[in-house]
Amino acid sequence: MVIVEFVVVPLGERSLSGYVAEIVKLLESRGVKYQLTPMSTIIEVPTVGGAFEIIKEAHERMFKLGADRVSTTIRIDDRRDREVKMEDKVRSVMEKVRSGG
């Protein structure tokens, strides 16, 4: 699995929650596993190409909603030696926190 964090920002807008809600609707309609954070959205998809497809669609959707300018930032964790899911990464850190290691 590829884990991707992305932020799509329609520039010049004061409130972004309506735009973010549209991205969440997109992810849900495509059956994408996601985690919404206060500052970004994280998705888990099989391939980098699939991630780019989804993010491109989210980016373009901002223009369809009336944005004149959009900035998109992407971070990709593409591990190919073994399958790692979002919750695995969090669990690994929390285990170390609890064990003091």
Count of beta carbons in the 10 Å neighbourhood of residue 44: 18
User: What's the token pair of residue 26?
Assistant: 């997109």
- pLDDT tens digits for 24-33? 999 999 999 9
pLDDT digits (tens, 9 = 90+) for 35-93: 999 999 999 999 999 999 999 999 999 999 999 999 999 999 999 999 989 999 999 99
Distance of alpha carbon 66 from alpha carbon 71, whole angstroms:
14
Question: What pLDDT, on the 0 to 100 scale, is given for residue 57?
Answer: 98
Residue 32, both tokens: 């994408």
The CA radius of gyration of the chain, in Å to the nearest whole number, is 15
What's at 69, amino acid-wise?
R
Average predicted confidence (pLDDT) for the chain? 95
Residue positions counted in the chain: 101
Q: What is the pTM of this model?
A: 0.90
User: Domains plus CATH for the chain?
Assistant: 2-99 (3.30.70.930)
